[in-house]
Amino acid sequence: MIQKVLTRFLNKLKLHNKFLIMYVFCVIIPLIITDAVVLRAVYKKEYDSRVYEMDKIAQQYSSYMSGVFSYNSNLAQAICDNQDFNHFLDRTYRSNYDYFVNYLDFINNSFFRTIAGMRSDKITIYVDNPTVGDGFYFKPMSSAEDKEWYRRFSQYDVDECLLIYYDETVNLRIEKPQKIIYIRKMRIFDSKYDKLVKIEIDASDMRNQLVNISSEYPMYICNGNYVVFTRIGEAVKTFNAENMRSQHTMYTHRPLSVLGNTLDIYLYSDELLITTVLRNNIVIILSLVLVTVILPVIIMKIIEQSLAKRIQILGEAFSGNKMDKFLPITDVEGNDEITSLMENYNNIVSINNELINTLYKDKLREQESDIARKNAELLALQSQINPHFLFNALESIRMHSILKGEDETAEMVEKLAVMERQNVEWSNDLVTVKKETESIEAYLYLQSYRFGDRLSFDIDVEEDCESYLIPKLTLVTFVENACVHGIESKPTAGWIFVRVYKKGEDLVMEIEDTGGGMTDKEVSALIRSIEHVSIDKIKNMKHVGILNACLRMKMHTDNMVKFSIESEVGVGMCVMIRVPLSKLKQSET
C-alpha cells in the first residue's frame, strides 16, 4: 500500500525533483547518519579510553592507600607480637628515674626506634600501667581517655580500626587538620595491663603522595559522604556521589575496603571531547560539507539535463501523431543506454504497423487456442474418471444382489445415486470438502455391503474446513484405492479413516487404512509418479485414478500441493495431502 502511494506520488514529479529526492534520501541522509555513527563511535572510543585511564589512576590511588594501611597494620602486628615490648610495658617501675633508665635502654637496644623513624607516621603505645611515664612513644592509658580518637574507638568495641575525621577541637582559622588514625589492641593473654597501639598517619604526606600519582583529573577519596582527600584546589568536607554523576561528563568509581571502612575513590572529567575535535578541525569539516553538498548538486544537475532532454525527445517520438504513425528520430546523440533506446526505436519504426497488428492478432489467437486445449484436456481427465467409479459401484451392487437377494438393493441404489449425482455434474470441477465427504460416506456405505464386518470407517472433518473448494472426487479416489488395494487385499477386518483439518497455514487431508500396505520401493515409485505426473503420461496409462486426482489437485493449486505417503506391509497406509489455505477458495453458500 505504501509503495503504491509513493509510486503514484513520484510519477507526478518532474525528473529534476526525482533527482533531488534521490540525492536527499540516498546521499544527504545516509551521509548524516554515517557521520553521526562515526562521530558516536569516535566519541565512545575516546570516552572509554578516558574512563579506562581514570580507572587506572584510581587503581593507583587504591594501591597506594592499601599499601599504607597494610604497612601500618603489619607494623602494629609486629609490635603486638614482640615479647620485649610486652615485658617492658608490664614491668613495675620503682620510680620515674627507674622507668626513664629502662626506657632509654629499651629504645636504644630494640628495633622500635628504627621502625618509628622510617616514616613520618607517629606511633604511640598506651598502657594502663601506672608506673609507665608519659613520654613520646609510650603514654599512660589515662592520658587518652579524653581524646576524640579514644572515644570513637571505645564505641566500636573492636580489636582494631581505622578512624578518619577532621579534628574540630583545633581552633584555627585555616581548615581543620585531617586525622587518619590506626588503632590496635595488644592482646597478650598473660599480660596484666591493657595496651593500645596508635599510629597516626601523616595526612599531609599521604595527600602529597596521592597528588604526585596524577594531576590530570580531579579526585575525591571519601568515607561515605565524608571527604578524606580531594584534588580540586579547595577544601571540601562533604560529597554527594549522585550530584557528581549528574553534573560531570565522565567519572569513575573504585571502592576500597579497609578495616570495616569503605573508602570510595572518584575521578571525573568535564572535557567535551567531540566539541574539541570539531573546533580543532572546523576548516576541514566545512570544506567537506561544501564538497559533499554543493558539488554533487551541480553534477547531478548536469546529468539531469543530459537525461531529461533526450528522454523528452524520445517521449515525443513515442507519442506519434494523430494518424498513429511513428516517425524516426533524426538527431540521435550520445553513446549510452538512452541512445541505444533511440536507435532501437528507429528500428521498430521501420517495421510495418500492419505487420505488428497482424502478429499481435496471431499471438492472441494462439493464446486462445492454448486455453481451449487445456480446457479440453481437463474435460478429458474428468470424463476418464467418471466410469471408473460407476463400474466399481455397480460391481458392488451386482455382487451384493447375488449374495443377499434384492431386499437391500434400494438402499444401495440410494447411495449410488448420491455418488453419481456428483459424478455427472461436470459443469464445475470444484466441490466443497463437505460435499466430497458426503460422496465418501456414500461410497463407503456401498463398500460396507460388499465387505460386511471386514470394513469399518470413520470420517472426521473440522467444521471450519467444510466450505473449502477442492477438485471433485479427489478424496474419493484415495478412499477407493484404500478399499480396493488395502481392505480387499487383507482377509481380516480393517478400518478406513478420513481426516480433514487445519494445521498452521495449510489445509491437511489424510486418508488412512489398516489394509495390506505397500513396500518402501512401491511407495517411492508412487511418489515419483505423483511428482512427475502430466496429462500426456496419464493418456497412455490404464490405471489412472490416483494420478488423475493428484494432477487435478496440482493444476488447481498452481503446483503448491504436497503429497506424502507412509506405509508398512501388513499394517496399512496413510496418504497426507497438504495445501496452502491461500491457494483454496471457499464456497459462499
The string of DSSP codes covering 560-581 is: --EEEEEEETTTEEEEEEEEEG
- Dmax (CA) of the chain: 148
Residue 454: count of CB within 10 angstroms of its CB: 15
Task: For the chain, give the number of residues.
Answer: 589
Q: Are the C-beta atoms of residues 474 and 554 closer than 8 Å to each other?
A: no
**What is the pLDDT averaged over residues 3-12?**
75
Interatomic CA distance for residues 69 and 494, integer angstroms: 92
**What is the pLDDT averaged over residues 222-235?**
74
**Residue ranges of domains in the chain:** 18-214+273-280, 281-349, 367-583
Task: Please report, rounded to a whole number, the percentage of residues in the chain having pLDDT higher than 90.
Answer: 14
Q: Are the C-beta atoms of residues 486 and 453 closer than 8 Å to each other?
A: no
Q: What is the DSSP letter of 468?
A: B
Whether 558 has a pLDDT exceeding 70, the answer reads yes
CATH dotted code for 367-583: 3.30.565.10
Residue 528: count of CB within 10 angstroms of its CB: 10
Encode 47-87 in three state secondary structure: HHHHHHHHHHHHHHHHHHHHHHHHHHHHHHHHHHHCHHHHH
Band of residue 369 on the pLDDT scale cut at 50, 70, 90: very low
Name beta bridge partners: 574. Answer: 512, 566
C-alpha cell at 290: 561544501
Band of residue 319 on the pLDDT scale cut at 50, 70, 90: low
Residue 461: count of CB within 10 angstroms of its CB: 17
**What is the pLDDT averaged over residues 132-143?**
87
At 8 the pLDDT is 76
Instruction: Read off the amino acid at residue 75.
Output: L
Which residues, 6 or more positions from 507, have their beta carbon under 8 angstroms from its beta carbon? 465, 468, 500, 501, 578, 579, 580, 581, 584
Whether 173 has a pLDDT exceeding 80, the answer reads no
Helices (H), 254-408: 273-280, 282-319, 337-349, 353-404
> For the residues of 318-347, what is the DSSP string, one character each?
HH--TT------S----SSHHHHHHHHHHH
Closest CA to 420 of 476, 369, 463: 476
Mean pLDDT, the chain, integer: 78
Q: Are the C-beta atoms of residues 73 and 257 closer than 8 Å to each other?
A: no
C-alpha cell at 85: 615490648
- Give the end-to-end CA distance of the chain in Å, rounded to a whole number: 31
- Helix (H) / strand (E) element for 172: namely none
Three-state DSSP class for residue 305: helix
Per-residue CA distances from 94 to 25, 129, 188, 354, 398 (Å): 101, 12, 23, 145, 143
C-alpha cell at 384: 476418464
User: If 0-12 CB within 10 Å is exposed, 13-18 middle and 19+ buried, where does residue 444 land?
Assistant: buried
- Say which residue, 399 or 551, is predicted with more confidence: 551
At 252 the pLDDT is 87
pLDDT digits (tens, 9 = 90+) for 19-65: 778 777 777 787 778 767 766 776 777 778 888 888 999 899 889 88
Instruction: Read off the amino acid at residue 81.
Output: D
Band of residue 347 on the pLDDT scale cut at 50, 70, 90: confident
Whether 460 has a pLDDT exceeding 90, the answer reads yes
Half-sphere exposure of 554 (CA within 13 A, CB side): 15
| CA dihedral sign of residues 374, 380, 386, 388 | negative
- Say which residue, 204 or 428, is predicted with more confidence: 204
Q: Are the C-beta atoms of residues 432 and 468 closer than 8 Å to each other?
A: yes
Interatomic CA distance for residues 334 and 303, integer angstroms: 13
Whether 426 has a pLDDT exceeding 50, the answer reads no
**What is the pLDDT averaged over residues 3-13?**
75
Interatomic CA distance for residues 539 and 550, integer angstroms: 14
Q: Are the C-beta atoms of residues 546 and 575 closer than 8 Å to each other?
A: no
| CA dihedral sign of residues 296, 302, 305, 311 | negative
Per-residue CA distances from 393 to 419, 445, 447, 487 (Å): 9, 11, 8, 16
Band of residue 551 on the pLDDT scale cut at 50, 70, 90: confident
Q: Are the C-beta atoms of residues 485 and 517 closer than 8 Å to each other?
A: no
Q: In what order do the strands lie in the sheet with 250-258?
A: 226-230, 219-223, 261-269, 250-258
Q: Are the C-beta atoms of residues 478 and 575 closer than 8 Å to each other?
A: yes
Band of residue 355 on the pLDDT scale cut at 50, 70, 90: low
Whether 512 has a pLDDT exceeding 90, the answer reads yes
At 323 the pLDDT is 47
User: If 0-12 CB within 10 Å is exposed, 13-18 middle and 19+ buried, where does residue 459 land?
Assistant: middle
Which residues, 6 or more positions from 77, have their beta carbon under 8 angstroms from its beta carbon? 184
**What is the pLDDT averaged over residues 306-319?**
68
At 42 the pLDDT is 67
Locate cell 561544501: which residue?
A: 290
Highest-pLDDT range among 9-13, 84-88, 387-391, 543-547: 84-88
Band of residue 320 on the pLDDT scale cut at 50, 70, 90: low
